[in-house]
Structure 1
Amino acid sequence: MSHNIQQQAIGFLGGTFDPVHFGHLRPALEICEALSLKQLILMPNHIAPHKSASHCSAQQRCEMVELAIQHQSKIGIDRRELNRAKPSYTIDTLKELKKQHAHTPICFIMGMDSLISFNSWHQWQEILNYCHLIVSQRPGWHCEFNKQVQTLLEQHKSSNPHDLHNLQAGKIYFQTTSQLDISSSEIRQLLNNDISIDYLVPEAVNSYIKQHQLYKKSS
Protein backbone atom coordinates (compact mmCIF):
# COMPACT_ATOMS: atom_id res chain seq x y z
CA MET A 1 0.00 0.00 0.00
CA SER A 2 3.03 2.26 0.08
CA HIS A 3 2.63 3.82 -3.36
CA ASN A 4 1.02 7.28 -3.70
CA ILE A 5 1.02 8.00 0.03
CA GLN A 6 2.09 11.63 0.44
CA GLN A 7 2.75 11.26 4.14
CA GLN A 8 2.27 8.57 6.72
CA ALA A 9 -0.46 8.97 9.28
CA ILE A 10 0.15 8.33 12.98
CA GLY A 11 -2.27 6.27 15.07
CA PHE A 12 -3.30 6.86 18.70
CA LEU A 13 -5.03 4.32 20.92
CA GLY A 14 -6.24 5.33 24.36
CA GLY A 15 -7.05 2.96 27.20
CA THR A 16 -6.58 2.48 30.91
CA PHE A 17 -4.14 -0.41 30.25
CA ASP A 18 -4.66 -1.68 33.79
CA PRO A 19 -2.84 -3.92 32.97
CA VAL A 20 -1.95 -3.84 29.27
CA HIS A 21 -2.53 -7.25 27.60
CA PHE A 22 -2.50 -9.04 24.23
CA GLY A 23 -6.11 -7.97 23.59
CA HIS A 24 -4.81 -4.38 23.35
CA LEU A 25 -1.49 -5.09 21.67
CA ARG A 26 -2.36 -7.51 18.87
CA PRO A 27 -5.14 -5.39 17.26
CA ALA A 28 -2.96 -2.28 17.64
CA LEU A 29 -0.12 -3.91 15.73
CA GLU A 30 -2.48 -5.29 13.08
CA ILE A 31 -3.95 -1.83 12.45
CA CYS A 32 -0.49 -0.28 12.30
CA GLU A 33 0.68 -2.79 9.70
CA ALA A 34 -2.52 -3.13 7.65
CA LEU A 35 -2.79 0.65 7.22
CA SER A 36 0.94 1.44 6.90
CA LEU A 37 0.86 3.85 9.84
CA LYS A 38 4.14 5.57 10.60
CA GLN A 39 3.70 4.69 14.24
CA LEU A 40 0.98 3.67 16.64
CA ILE A 41 1.03 5.40 20.01
CA LEU A 42 -0.61 3.94 23.11
CA MET A 43 -2.03 6.63 25.35
CA PRO A 44 -2.82 5.51 28.91
CA ASN A 45 -5.84 7.34 30.32
CA HIS A 46 -5.98 9.14 33.62
CA ILE A 47 -7.82 7.12 36.30
CA ALA A 48 -9.53 9.08 39.06
CA PRO A 49 -7.63 8.59 42.35
CA HIS A 50 -10.69 7.19 44.16
CA LYS A 51 -11.02 4.52 41.48
CA SER A 52 -7.38 3.52 41.43
CA ALA A 53 -7.17 2.28 45.03
CA SER A 54 -7.71 -1.35 44.00
CA HIS A 55 -5.55 -1.04 40.90
CA CYS A 56 -2.05 0.29 40.46
CA SER A 57 -0.45 3.69 40.06
CA ALA A 58 -0.31 5.66 36.81
CA GLN A 59 3.46 5.21 36.85
CA GLN A 60 3.11 1.41 37.09
CA ARG A 61 0.56 1.27 34.27
CA CYS A 62 2.98 3.30 32.19
CA GLU A 63 5.96 1.07 33.00
CA MET A 64 3.96 -2.03 32.02
CA VAL A 65 3.08 -0.49 28.64
CA GLU A 66 6.76 0.37 28.12
CA LEU A 67 7.77 -3.22 28.90
CA ALA A 68 5.06 -4.58 26.59
CA ILE A 69 6.27 -2.56 23.58
CA GLN A 70 10.02 -2.52 24.24
CA HIS A 71 10.87 -4.73 21.23
CA GLN A 72 8.30 -3.25 18.86
CA SER A 73 9.71 -0.24 17.01
CA LYS A 74 6.34 0.69 15.45
CA ILE A 75 4.55 1.14 18.78
CA GLY A 76 5.18 4.03 21.18
CA ILE A 77 3.66 5.59 24.31
CA ASP A 78 2.33 9.07 25.06
CA ARG A 79 1.99 10.07 28.72
CA ARG A 80 0.17 13.39 28.36
CA GLU A 81 -3.16 12.18 29.77
CA LEU A 82 -1.46 10.63 32.80
CA ASN A 83 0.35 13.85 33.57
CA ARG A 84 -2.85 15.85 33.86
CA ALA A 85 -4.49 16.49 37.20
CA LYS A 86 -7.85 15.22 35.98
CA PRO A 87 -9.33 13.13 33.18
CA SER A 88 -9.31 14.89 29.83
CA TYR A 89 -11.79 14.91 27.01
CA THR A 90 -10.66 13.25 23.78
CA ILE A 91 -11.30 16.49 21.87
CA ASP A 92 -8.78 18.38 24.05
CA THR A 93 -6.13 15.73 23.57
CA LEU A 94 -6.73 15.74 19.81
CA LYS A 95 -6.36 19.53 19.64
CA GLU A 96 -3.00 19.23 21.39
CA LEU A 97 -1.87 16.38 19.15
CA LYS A 98 -2.84 18.35 16.05
CA LYS A 99 -0.73 21.32 17.20
CA GLN A 100 2.19 18.97 17.65
CA HIS A 101 1.67 17.10 14.35
CA ALA A 102 0.40 19.99 12.25
CA HIS A 103 1.12 18.35 8.89
CA THR A 104 0.62 14.69 9.75
CA PRO A 105 -2.77 12.99 9.62
CA ILE A 106 -3.83 11.61 13.00
CA CYS A 107 -5.83 8.40 13.26
CA PHE A 108 -7.70 7.90 16.52
CA ILE A 109 -8.42 4.21 17.08
CA MET A 110 -11.51 2.97 18.87
CA GLY A 111 -13.54 -0.20 19.33
CA MET A 112 -17.02 -0.73 17.92
CA ASP A 113 -18.57 -0.10 21.36
CA SER A 114 -17.11 3.42 21.36
CA LEU A 115 -18.50 4.14 17.91
CA ILE A 116 -21.97 2.94 18.94
CA SER A 117 -22.06 5.53 21.74
CA PHE A 118 -19.97 8.15 19.89
CA ASN A 119 -22.71 10.78 19.91
CA SER A 120 -22.52 10.88 23.72
CA TRP A 121 -18.84 11.99 23.62
CA HIS A 122 -17.99 15.56 24.60
CA GLN A 123 -18.13 17.78 21.46
CA TRP A 124 -18.37 14.68 19.29
CA GLN A 125 -19.30 16.72 16.19
CA GLU A 126 -15.88 18.42 16.35
CA ILE A 127 -13.70 15.33 16.67
CA LEU A 128 -13.39 14.57 12.94
CA ASN A 129 -12.00 18.08 12.34
CA TYR A 130 -8.80 16.91 14.06
CA CYS A 131 -8.43 13.26 13.11
CA HIS A 132 -9.65 10.23 11.23
CA LEU A 133 -11.37 7.51 13.23
CA ILE A 134 -10.27 3.93 12.78
CA VAL A 135 -12.80 1.47 14.13
CA SER A 136 -11.39 -1.90 15.11
CA GLN A 137 -14.00 -4.54 14.34
CA ARG A 138 -14.24 -8.28 14.57
CA PRO A 139 -14.48 -10.20 11.28
CA GLY A 140 -17.96 -10.33 9.74
CA TRP A 141 -19.54 -8.22 12.46
CA HIS A 142 -22.44 -5.96 11.50
CA CYS A 143 -24.03 -3.45 13.70
CA GLU A 144 -27.05 -1.19 14.00
CA PHE A 145 -26.18 2.43 14.76
CA ASN A 146 -28.39 5.14 16.17
CA LYS A 147 -29.52 7.87 13.80
CA GLN A 148 -26.81 10.40 14.69
CA VAL A 149 -23.96 7.92 14.31
CA GLN A 150 -25.52 6.50 11.14
CA THR A 151 -25.67 10.00 9.60
CA LEU A 152 -22.06 10.65 10.62
CA LEU A 153 -21.01 7.40 8.90
CA GLU A 154 -22.90 8.29 5.72
CA GLN A 155 -20.98 11.58 5.59
CA HIS A 156 -17.52 10.38 6.62
CA LYS A 157 -17.07 6.65 6.04
CA SER A 158 -14.29 5.66 3.65
CA SER A 159 -13.19 2.26 2.41
CA ASN A 160 -10.00 3.64 0.86
CA PRO A 161 -7.02 3.39 3.24
CA HIS A 162 -5.10 6.00 1.20
CA ASP A 163 -7.56 8.63 2.46
CA LEU A 164 -6.09 8.20 5.95
CA HIS A 165 -2.71 9.38 4.69
CA ASN A 166 -3.65 11.80 1.94
CA LEU A 167 -6.27 13.74 3.90
CA GLN A 168 -5.54 15.45 7.21
CA ALA A 169 -8.75 14.41 8.99
CA GLY A 170 -12.43 13.65 8.57
CA LYS A 171 -12.71 9.97 7.57
CA ILE A 172 -14.05 6.94 9.42
CA TYR A 173 -12.43 3.67 8.40
CA PHE A 174 -13.33 0.15 9.57
CA GLN A 175 -10.45 -2.27 10.04
CA THR A 176 -10.94 -5.95 10.79
CA THR A 177 -8.65 -7.14 13.60
CA SER A 178 -8.19 -10.20 15.80
CA GLN A 179 -10.55 -9.71 18.72
CA LEU A 180 -8.95 -11.56 21.61
CA ASP A 181 -11.42 -12.16 24.39
CA ILE A 182 -9.20 -10.82 27.16
CA SER A 183 -10.06 -8.03 29.57
CA SER A 184 -8.03 -6.18 32.15
CA SER A 185 -10.74 -6.75 34.75
CA GLU A 186 -10.59 -10.50 34.13
CA ILE A 187 -6.80 -10.42 34.55
CA ARG A 188 -7.11 -8.49 37.82
CA GLN A 189 -9.67 -11.05 39.01
CA LEU A 190 -7.35 -13.96 38.20
CA LEU A 191 -4.47 -12.32 40.04
CA ASN A 192 -6.70 -11.56 42.98
CA ASN A 193 -7.48 -15.30 43.12
CA ASP A 194 -3.85 -16.37 42.66
CA ILE A 195 -4.53 -17.89 39.22
CA SER A 196 -1.86 -17.72 36.50
CA ILE A 197 -2.14 -15.05 33.79
CA ASP A 198 0.48 -16.68 31.55
CA TYR A 199 -0.25 -16.19 27.81
CA LEU A 200 -2.67 -13.30 28.47
CA VAL A 201 0.00 -10.61 28.84
CA PRO A 202 3.58 -10.23 27.56
CA GLU A 203 6.09 -12.11 29.70
CA ALA A 204 7.80 -8.88 30.80
CA VAL A 205 4.47 -7.50 32.05
CA ASN A 206 3.75 -10.75 33.90
CA SER A 207 7.14 -10.55 35.65
CA TYR A 208 6.58 -6.91 36.57
CA ILE A 209 3.18 -7.70 38.11
CA LYS A 210 4.71 -10.53 40.17
CA GLN A 211 7.68 -8.45 41.23
CA HIS A 212 5.49 -5.57 42.43
CA GLN A 213 2.73 -7.82 43.80
CA LEU A 214 0.11 -5.89 41.84
CA TYR A 215 -3.63 -6.58 41.90
CA LYS A 216 -3.38 -8.84 44.95
CA LYS A 217 -5.99 -8.93 47.67
CA SER A 218 -4.86 -6.49 50.29
CA SER A 219 -3.97 -8.74 53.19
Structure 2
Amino acid sequence: MKNNKKIALFGGSFDPVHTDHFNMAKACHDKLGFEEVWIIPTFLNPFKSSTKTSNEERLNLLNLIFENEDYIKIDQFEMNNQRVTTTYETVSHFKKMYPYYDFSFVIGSDNLNRLEEWNNFDELINLVNFIVFERSNNYKKEVAQKYNLPIYYFENNYLSSTKIRELEDLKLLIPKVNDYINYHLLYLDIRMKPFMDEQRYQHCLNVGEMAAKLAELNNIDPQKAKVAGTLHDITKRWSEEKQIAYLTKYEKALLGEPKPVWHSYTGAFHLKYDWLINDEEIINAVYNHTVGCEEMTTLDMIVFCADKISVERDYEDVQYYREECFKDLKTGFIKLLINQYDVAIKTHGIEAIGDKLLKTYNFYVKGDN
Protein backbone atom coordinates (compact mmCIF):
# COMPACT_ATOMS: atom_id res chain seq x y z
CA MET A 1 0.00 0.00 0.00
CA LYS A 2 1.36 3.41 -0.94
CA ASN A 3 2.43 5.85 1.75
CA ASN A 4 3.08 9.25 0.22
CA LYS A 5 4.46 10.73 3.43
CA LYS A 6 6.13 14.08 2.71
CA ILE A 7 9.72 14.11 3.96
CA ALA A 8 12.14 17.03 3.83
CA LEU A 9 15.78 15.98 3.71
CA PHE A 10 18.01 18.62 5.28
CA GLY A 11 21.74 18.06 4.92
CA GLY A 12 24.70 20.12 6.03
CA SER A 13 27.81 20.30 8.18
CA PHE A 14 25.90 21.80 11.13
CA ASP A 15 29.21 22.91 12.64
CA PRO A 16 27.56 24.11 14.78
CA VAL A 17 23.83 23.84 14.24
CA HIS A 18 22.19 27.19 14.90
CA THR A 19 18.88 29.01 15.19
CA ASP A 20 18.39 29.45 11.45
CA HIS A 21 18.82 25.72 10.85
CA PHE A 22 16.17 25.17 13.50
CA ASN A 23 13.84 27.75 11.97
CA MET A 24 14.19 26.31 8.46
CA ALA A 25 13.38 22.82 9.71
CA LYS A 26 10.39 24.16 11.64
CA ALA A 27 9.15 26.08 8.59
CA CYS A 28 9.24 22.85 6.56
CA HIS A 29 6.92 21.25 9.08
CA ASP A 30 4.71 24.13 10.17
CA LYS A 31 4.38 26.10 6.93
CA LEU A 32 5.17 23.76 4.04
CA GLY A 33 3.33 20.71 5.30
CA PHE A 34 6.17 18.19 5.59
CA GLU A 35 5.27 15.47 8.05
CA GLU A 36 8.89 14.85 8.95
CA VAL A 37 12.24 16.56 8.50
CA TRP A 38 15.26 14.28 8.34
CA ILE A 39 18.46 16.03 9.40
CA ILE A 40 21.48 14.48 7.65
CA PRO A 41 24.80 15.78 9.01
CA THR A 42 27.66 15.31 6.58
CA PHE A 43 30.79 13.33 7.29
CA LEU A 44 32.49 16.04 5.27
CA ASN A 45 31.01 18.70 3.03
CA PRO A 46 32.34 18.28 -0.56
CA PHE A 47 33.25 22.00 -0.61
CA LYS A 48 35.04 22.00 2.76
CA SER A 49 38.40 20.55 3.77
CA SER A 50 37.40 19.61 7.32
CA THR A 51 34.87 19.97 10.08
CA LYS A 52 35.83 21.85 13.25
CA THR A 53 34.30 19.43 15.74
CA SER A 54 33.85 15.69 16.03
CA ASN A 55 30.85 13.82 14.65
CA GLU A 56 29.81 13.07 18.22
CA GLU A 57 29.74 16.73 19.23
CA ARG A 58 27.77 17.77 16.15
CA LEU A 59 25.25 14.99 16.81
CA ASN A 60 24.96 16.02 20.46
CA LEU A 61 24.19 19.59 19.42
CA LEU A 62 21.63 18.45 16.85
CA ASN A 63 19.90 16.24 19.42
CA LEU A 64 19.95 19.11 21.88
CA ILE A 65 18.44 21.76 19.61
CA PHE A 66 15.74 19.46 18.24
CA GLU A 67 15.03 17.55 21.45
CA ASN A 68 11.40 18.75 21.68
CA GLU A 69 10.55 18.54 17.97
CA ASP A 70 8.92 15.15 17.36
CA TYR A 71 8.81 15.62 13.57
CA ILE A 72 12.62 15.61 13.42
CA LYS A 73 14.71 12.54 12.66
CA ILE A 74 18.49 12.77 12.75
CA ASP A 75 19.96 10.31 10.29
CA GLN A 76 23.64 9.30 10.30
CA PHE A 77 23.73 7.84 6.79
CA GLU A 78 26.44 10.22 5.56
CA MET A 79 28.43 10.14 8.79
CA ASN A 80 28.44 6.37 8.78
CA ASN A 81 29.90 6.33 5.27
CA GLN A 82 33.12 7.79 6.72
CA ARG A 83 33.77 9.64 3.47
CA VAL A 84 32.43 12.50 1.39
CA THR A 85 28.92 11.55 0.31
CA THR A 86 27.31 13.54 -2.46
CA THR A 87 23.73 14.76 -2.29
CA TYR A 88 22.96 12.60 -5.31
CA GLU A 89 24.09 9.49 -3.41
CA THR A 90 22.11 10.48 -0.34
CA VAL A 91 18.88 11.21 -2.18
CA SER A 92 19.23 8.04 -4.26
CA HIS A 93 19.75 6.02 -1.08
CA PHE A 94 16.62 7.30 0.62
CA LYS A 95 14.45 7.02 -2.49
CA LYS A 96 15.55 3.41 -2.86
CA MET A 97 14.97 2.64 0.82
CA TYR A 98 11.56 4.34 0.93
CA PRO A 99 10.15 4.24 -2.61
CA TYR A 100 6.71 5.44 -1.58
CA TYR A 101 7.83 8.51 0.35
CA ASP A 102 7.71 11.93 -1.26
CA PHE A 103 11.14 13.46 -0.66
CA SER A 104 12.32 17.04 -1.10
CA PHE A 105 15.79 18.42 -0.37
CA VAL A 106 16.28 21.58 1.71
CA ILE A 107 18.98 24.13 0.87
CA GLY A 108 19.71 27.74 1.67
CA SER A 109 19.67 30.24 -1.17
CA ASP A 110 23.46 30.62 -0.83
CA ASN A 111 23.78 27.07 -2.20
CA LEU A 112 22.35 28.24 -5.51
CA ASN A 113 25.67 29.91 -6.29
CA ARG A 114 27.35 26.53 -6.79
CA LEU A 115 24.37 24.25 -7.23
CA GLU A 116 25.20 23.37 -10.82
CA GLU A 117 28.66 22.20 -9.67
CA TRP A 118 27.16 19.49 -7.46
CA ASN A 119 28.00 15.91 -8.45
CA ASN A 120 25.50 14.36 -10.88
CA PHE A 121 23.56 17.60 -10.86
CA ASP A 122 21.73 16.88 -14.12
CA GLU A 123 20.32 13.68 -12.62
CA LEU A 124 19.79 15.21 -9.18
CA ILE A 125 17.64 18.09 -10.39
CA ASN A 126 15.25 15.55 -11.90
CA LEU A 127 15.45 13.14 -8.99
CA VAL A 128 14.20 15.37 -6.18
CA ASN A 129 12.42 18.67 -5.57
CA PHE A 130 14.48 21.41 -3.95
CA ILE A 131 13.13 23.54 -1.12
CA VAL A 132 15.12 26.79 -1.20
CA PHE A 133 15.02 29.13 1.81
CA GLU A 134 16.27 32.67 1.31
CA ARG A 135 19.26 33.14 3.61
CA SER A 136 20.16 36.51 2.10
CA ASN A 137 19.33 38.50 -1.00
CA ASN A 138 22.77 37.80 -2.47
CA TYR A 139 22.38 34.63 -4.51
CA LYS A 140 22.10 33.53 -8.14
CA LYS A 141 18.47 34.24 -8.81
CA GLU A 142 18.94 33.14 -12.41
CA VAL A 143 19.65 29.59 -11.19
CA ALA A 144 16.37 29.52 -9.29
CA GLN A 145 14.56 30.81 -12.37
CA LYS A 146 16.32 28.40 -14.74
CA TYR A 147 15.16 25.34 -12.80
CA ASN A 148 11.88 26.83 -11.59
CA LEU A 149 12.89 26.60 -7.92
CA PRO A 150 10.53 28.47 -5.59
CA ILE A 151 12.16 30.58 -2.87
CA TYR A 152 10.65 30.28 0.59
CA TYR A 153 10.98 32.61 3.57
CA PHE A 154 11.42 31.78 7.23
CA GLU A 155 12.27 33.47 10.53
CA ASN A 156 15.75 34.46 9.42
CA ASN A 157 18.43 35.70 11.80
CA TYR A 158 21.09 35.77 9.07
CA LEU A 159 23.32 33.52 11.14
CA SER A 160 26.24 31.47 9.91
CA SER A 161 28.18 28.70 11.61
CA THR A 162 31.40 30.50 10.71
CA LYS A 163 30.34 33.63 12.57
CA ILE A 164 29.25 31.62 15.61
CA ARG A 165 32.61 29.85 15.76
CA GLU A 166 34.16 33.33 15.76
CA LEU A 167 31.92 34.57 18.62
CA GLU A 168 29.67 36.70 16.42
CA ASP A 169 25.86 36.93 16.83
CA LEU A 170 25.79 34.64 19.87
CA LYS A 171 22.79 36.54 21.25
CA LEU A 172 20.77 35.14 18.34
CA LEU A 173 21.82 31.58 19.11
CA ILE A 174 19.48 29.34 21.09
CA PRO A 175 21.01 29.60 24.60
CA LYS A 176 21.24 25.87 25.31
CA VAL A 177 23.35 25.44 22.17
CA ASN A 178 25.72 28.22 23.21
CA ASP A 179 25.90 26.80 26.73
CA TYR A 180 26.87 23.39 25.35
CA ILE A 181 29.55 24.89 23.10
CA ASN A 182 31.07 26.82 26.00
CA TYR A 183 30.84 23.99 28.54
CA HIS A 184 32.54 21.57 26.14
CA LEU A 185 35.12 24.14 25.00
CA LEU A 186 34.34 23.74 21.31
CA TYR A 187 36.15 25.84 18.68
CA LEU A 188 38.97 26.80 21.06
CA ASP A 189 41.58 27.01 18.32
CA ILE A 190 39.41 29.51 16.44
CA ARG A 191 38.39 31.52 19.48
CA MET A 192 41.70 31.65 21.34
CA LYS A 193 44.69 31.05 19.07
CA PRO A 194 44.40 34.25 17.00
CA PHE A 195 44.78 36.30 20.18
CA MET A 196 47.74 34.62 21.86
CA ASP A 197 51.02 32.92 21.08
CA GLU A 198 51.38 29.14 21.10
CA GLN A 199 53.13 29.13 24.49
CA ARG A 200 50.26 31.01 26.14
CA TYR A 201 47.69 28.80 24.43
CA GLN A 202 49.43 25.68 25.72
CA HIS A 203 49.59 27.18 29.21
CA CYS A 204 45.82 27.71 29.09
CA LEU A 205 45.23 24.09 28.12
CA ASN A 206 47.58 22.93 30.89
CA VAL A 207 45.79 25.04 33.50
CA GLY A 208 42.46 23.59 32.39
CA GLU A 209 43.79 20.06 32.83
CA MET A 210 45.32 20.86 36.21
CA ALA A 211 42.10 22.53 37.38
CA ALA A 212 40.10 19.43 36.42
CA LYS A 213 42.43 17.20 38.48
CA LEU A 214 42.15 19.46 41.52
CA ALA A 215 38.37 19.61 41.09
CA GLU A 216 38.07 15.82 41.20
CA LEU A 217 39.80 15.82 44.58
CA ASN A 218 37.59 18.59 45.94
CA ASN A 219 34.10 17.52 44.83
CA ILE A 220 33.79 20.18 42.15
CA ASP A 221 32.57 19.51 38.61
CA PRO A 222 35.84 18.78 36.76
CA GLN A 223 34.51 20.06 33.45
CA LYS A 224 33.44 23.37 34.98
CA ALA A 225 36.91 23.72 36.49
CA LYS A 226 38.44 22.82 33.14
CA VAL A 227 36.43 25.56 31.43
CA ALA A 228 37.47 28.21 33.94
CA GLY A 229 41.08 27.05 33.91
CA THR A 230 41.36 26.86 30.15
CA LEU A 231 39.84 30.30 29.66
CA HIS A 232 41.56 32.05 32.57
CA ASP A 233 44.08 33.92 30.38
CA ILE A 234 41.71 34.57 27.47
CA THR A 235 42.60 38.29 27.33
CA LYS A 236 46.20 38.04 28.54
CA ARG A 237 47.60 39.16 25.18
CA TRP A 238 45.08 41.94 24.55
CA SER A 239 46.52 45.39 23.95
CA GLU A 240 46.60 47.86 26.82
CA GLU A 241 44.11 50.03 24.93
CA LYS A 242 41.61 47.19 24.71
CA GLN A 243 42.10 46.27 28.36
CA ILE A 244 41.44 49.88 29.35
CA ALA A 245 38.33 50.04 27.16
CA TYR A 246 36.81 46.96 28.82
CA LEU A 247 37.67 48.05 32.36
CA THR A 248 36.30 51.52 31.67
CA LYS A 249 33.09 50.00 30.33
CA TYR A 250 32.47 47.38 32.99
CA GLU A 251 34.32 48.30 36.24
CA LYS A 252 36.35 51.46 36.01
CA ALA A 253 37.76 51.23 39.54
CA LEU A 254 39.86 48.26 38.44
CA LEU A 255 42.10 50.61 36.45
CA GLY A 256 43.72 51.30 39.83
CA GLU A 257 44.97 47.71 40.01
CA PRO A 258 48.40 46.82 38.58
CA LYS A 259 48.37 46.35 34.80
CA PRO A 260 49.68 42.74 34.94
CA VAL A 261 46.44 41.64 36.65
CA TRP A 262 44.01 43.51 34.40
CA HIS A 263 43.52 40.45 32.21
CA SER A 264 41.79 38.65 35.11
CA TYR A 265 39.01 41.18 35.03
CA THR A 266 38.80 41.81 31.29
CA GLY A 267 38.82 38.05 30.80
CA ALA A 268 35.82 37.67 33.08
CA PHE A 269 33.97 40.48 31.29
CA HIS A 270 34.86 39.08 27.86
CA LEU A 271 33.55 35.64 28.80
CA LYS A 272 30.38 37.02 30.34
CA TYR A 273 29.42 39.58 27.70
CA ASP A 274 31.01 38.21 24.50
CA TRP A 275 31.02 34.44 24.99
CA LEU A 276 27.74 34.73 26.93
CA ILE A 277 28.89 32.35 29.64
CA ASN A 278 26.18 32.64 32.26
CA ASP A 279 27.77 30.52 34.98
CA GLU A 280 28.82 33.10 37.57
CA GLU A 281 31.10 30.61 39.32
CA ILE A 282 33.19 30.28 36.16
CA ILE A 283 33.19 34.04 35.62
CA ASN A 284 34.26 34.68 39.23
CA ALA A 285 37.01 32.05 39.08
CA VAL A 286 38.53 33.81 36.05
CA TYR A 287 38.07 37.20 37.75
CA ASN A 288 39.91 36.01 40.87
CA HIS A 289 42.61 33.86 39.33
CA THR A 290 45.57 36.25 39.67
CA VAL A 291 45.34 37.89 43.10
CA GLY A 292 42.24 36.31 44.59
CA CYS A 293 39.69 37.97 46.83
CA GLU A 294 38.29 37.67 50.31
CA GLU A 295 36.21 34.51 50.82
CA MET A 296 37.37 32.57 47.78
CA THR A 297 35.13 29.71 46.66
CA THR A 298 36.60 26.26 46.15
CA LEU A 299 36.49 26.78 42.38
CA ASP A 300 38.24 30.15 42.79
CA MET A 301 41.04 28.46 44.71
CA ILE A 302 41.30 25.65 42.18
CA VAL A 303 41.86 27.98 39.24
CA PHE A 304 44.15 30.27 41.25
CA CYS A 305 46.32 27.29 42.18
CA ALA A 306 46.15 25.53 38.80
CA ASP A 307 47.48 28.66 37.11
CA LYS A 308 50.50 28.69 39.36
CA ILE A 309 51.31 24.97 39.41
CA SER A 310 50.42 23.96 35.83
CA VAL A 311 52.60 21.26 34.37
CA GLU A 312 54.93 23.55 32.40
CA ARG A 313 55.74 25.79 35.39
CA ASP A 314 59.36 25.29 36.46
CA TYR A 315 60.14 28.00 39.02
CA GLU A 316 61.94 27.13 42.25
CA ASP A 317 59.85 24.98 44.65
CA VAL A 318 56.96 24.57 42.20
CA GLN A 319 56.86 20.82 42.86
CA TYR A 320 56.50 21.52 46.58
CA TYR A 321 53.52 23.79 45.92
CA ARG A 322 51.94 21.18 43.62
CA GLU A 323 52.18 18.58 46.35
CA GLU A 324 50.70 20.96 48.92
CA CYS A 325 47.75 21.81 46.66
CA PHE A 326 47.01 18.14 46.05
CA LYS A 327 47.30 17.30 49.76
CA ASP A 328 44.99 20.11 50.87
CA LEU A 329 43.68 22.75 48.47
CA LYS A 330 43.21 25.57 50.96
CA THR A 331 46.62 25.04 52.56
CA GLY A 332 48.24 24.97 49.13
CA PHE A 333 46.35 28.09 48.11
CA ILE A 334 47.50 30.02 51.18
CA LYS A 335 51.13 28.98 50.65
CA LEU A 336 50.97 30.07 47.01
CA LEU A 337 49.36 33.33 48.10
CA ILE A 338 52.15 34.01 50.59
CA ASN A 339 54.76 33.28 47.95
CA GLN A 340 53.04 35.57 45.46
CA TYR A 341 52.75 38.35 48.03
CA ASP A 342 56.41 38.06 49.04
CA VAL A 343 57.58 38.10 45.41
CA ALA A 344 55.34 41.09 44.62
CA ILE A 345 56.64 43.08 47.62
CA LYS A 346 60.24 42.25 46.72
CA THR A 347 59.77 43.13 43.06
CA HIS A 348 57.42 46.12 43.15
CA GLY A 349 57.17 47.34 46.73
CA ILE A 350 54.05 47.31 48.88
CA GLU A 351 52.73 50.55 47.37
CA ALA A 352 52.48 48.99 43.91
CA ILE A 353 50.95 45.56 44.57
CA GLY A 354 47.35 46.66 44.39
CA ASP A 355 44.42 46.68 46.78
CA LYS A 356 43.05 43.26 45.87
CA LEU A 357 46.18 41.23 46.57
CA LEU A 358 46.63 43.07 49.86
CA LYS A 359 43.03 42.35 50.92
CA THR A 360 43.31 38.69 49.95
CA TYR A 361 46.59 38.34 51.84
CA ASN A 362 45.25 40.07 54.95
CA PHE A 363 42.10 37.92 54.91
CA TYR A 364 43.80 34.53 54.57
CA VAL A 365 47.21 35.05 56.11
CA LYS A 366 46.70 37.71 58.76
CA GLY A 367 43.16 36.62 59.56
CA ASP A 368 41.54 40.01 59.03
CA ASN A 369 38.02 38.56 58.93
Using the size of structure 1 for normalisation, the TM-score is 0.75
The match for 1:167 is: none
Q: Return the offset for 1:116.
A: 3.5
The match for 2:179 is: 207
Q: For residues 5 and 85 of structure 2, what CA distance do their matches in structure 1 show?
A: 27
Partner of residue 90 from structure 1, selected from 87, 90, 97: 87
1:69-218 counterparts in 2 under 5 A? 69-137=66-134, 144-145=141-142, 150-151=145-146, 153=147, 157=148, 172-190=149-167, 197=170, 199-216=171-188, 217=192
Q: For residues 141 and 183 of structure 2, what CA distance do their matches in structure 1 show?
A: 45
Q: For residues 4 and 157 of structure 2, what CA distance do their matches in structure 1 show?
A: 31
Residues 203 and 76 from structure 1, CA distance in 2 versus in 1: closer, same or farther, beyond 3 angstroms? Answer: farther
Write out the 4+ residue segments of structure 1 that deviate beyond 4 Å after TM superposition.
138-143
Q: For residues 69 and 40 of structure 2, what CA distance do their matches in structure 1 show?
A: 16
Aligned residues: 187
Unaligned runs of 5+ in 1: 1-5, 158-171
Checking the alignment, whether the CA contact within 8 Å between 2:11 and 2:40 is kept in structure 1 is yes
Q: For residues 150 and 21 of structure 1, what CA distance do their matches in structure 2 show?
A: 29
Q: Return the offset for 1:143.
A: 5.3
Q: Return the offset for 1:107.
A: 0.7
Unaligned runs of 5+ in 2: 194-200, 202-369
The match for 1:63 is: 60
Checking the alignment, whether the CA contact within 8 Å between 1:116 and 1:145 is kept in structure 2 is no
Q: Which amino acid aligns with 1:212?
A: H
Higher strand share: 1
Q: Return the offset for 1:139.
A: 9.1
SS in 2 for 1:13: strand
Q: For residues 85 and 139 of structure 1, what CA distance do their matches in structure 2 show?
A: 32
Q: Return the offset for 1:35.
A: 1.3
Higher helix share: 2
Higher relative contact order, chain-length normalized (CA < 8 Å, sep 6+): 1
Q: Which amino acid aligns with 1:117?
A: R
